[in-house]
Amino acid sequence: MNAVQQLDINLKGKDLLTLADLEPQEITTLLEKSIVLKEKTLNKQFDHPLKGKILGMIFDKSSTRTRVSFEVGMIQLGGSALYLNGNDLQLGRGETVADTAQVLSQYIDAIMIRTFSHKSVEELADHATVPVINGLTDMYHPCQALADLLTIHEKKGKLEGLNLAYIGDGNNVAHSLMIACTKVGMNVSIAAPKGYFPDETITARCKGFAAQSGAKLVINESPLEAVKDADIIYSDVWTSMGQESENEQRLKDFHGFQVNAELLKHAKEDHIFMHCLPAHRGEEVTAEVIDGKHSVVFDQAGNRLHAQKALLVEILKD
């Protein structure tokens, strides 16, 4: 990607519910714009393209990175962000999702929602007259995947042809990673216990994206096979928010899927380790790895700000 020679894309007024809805060019151009905005941010050069714009942020699930990165991003772009606790809104309980969508559309310029059910976000987008951004659902985490691609490009200088190994639960993070990587030509190897593989419908779509980009997608039960010749190793928690009652069983089922120094001996010598955070140190990854020289997890967290700023500008620009 060349941060100077940017391509024009038109995402104005559009929703972002999953990266599957974006063309490869749109993804790479968002990354190019992220690079430019990051450089300006680091140099304390703040333009205000979103002056007067308001982002409503609905949280049914709490988050450090999502709330702070979106709120700071809007402030740096000249706009403002409004925190809306899902319990206060009674979204889908005291008032229908459709009614809430139409009411909020009267007040704000865009909605970011972090919730459990992806169907609720789809319903919100169907009835809102302002753009809706998926901040996380049970099926997808597209903003995280954009930040992941930005981080990989920064550390490796390219995306196409790289090998990414994801070790753990075939969850929302895995789904969005699969989509993002196969769209831009990165090879993906997922290692998960049987019963925790990624969603079959999403996997089938990703195989279609891979066929178009020339990427490879492999899903099996072997962490060792996944990390062989990997440029990037990615891990996530075994028990996500809302799955606490399953924790004991999951700890048993994921035995042998920990990312540790022994496993990483089989990856490329210059590999990087990634994790969307928060991490359960000693479970899916050892402290030695997450604090080690190959780890880029905090740069990755920081890139949420820059990737989302690019997205916000493209969606909300006049």
Burial class from Cβ neighbours inside 10 Å (0-12, 13-18, 19+) for residue 88 reads: exposed
Q: Position 174: which residue type?
A: A
Please state whether the peptide bond connecting residue 278 to the residue before it is cis, i.e. omega within 30 degrees of 0.
yes
Catalytic residue among 206, 231, 236, 258: 236
Q: Would residue 114 show up in a list of annotated catalytic residues for this protein?
A: yes
Q: How far apart are CA 124 and CA 116, in angstroms?
A: 13
Q: How much of the chain is in helix, strand and coil states, percent to nearest 5? A: 45, 15, 40
Q: Which two tokens stand for residue 260?
A: 């540790």
Q: Would residue 65 show up in a list of annotated catalytic residues for this protein?
A: no
**HSE (CB half, 13 Å, CA atoms) of 37?**
27
Catalytic residue among 60, 65, 109, 114: 114
Catalytic residue among 76, 144, 258, 308: 144
Residue 293 and residue 269 in contact, taking contact as beta carbons nearer than 8 Å: no
Catalytic residue among 275, 294, 304, 306: 304
Catalytic residue among 65, 141, 175, 250: 141
Q: Would residue 304 show up in a list of annotated catalytic residues for this protein?
A: yes
Residue 191 and residue 197 in contact, taking contact as beta carbons nearer than 8 Å: no
Q: How far apart are CA 162 and CA 176, in angstroms?
A: 17
Strands (E), 61-139: 80-85, 110-114, 132-136
Backbone angles phi, psi at 111, to 5 degrees: -125, 130
Q: Look at residues 263, 289, 261, 255 and name the one whose alpha carbon lies nearest to residue 275.
A: 289
Residue 108 CB partners (closer than 8 Å, separation 6+): 54, 55, 56, 82, 130
Q: Position 277: which residue type?
A: L
Backbone angles phi, psi at 184, to 5 degrees: -105, 10
54 beta partners: 80
- Catalytically active residues are 114, 141, 144, 236, 276, 304
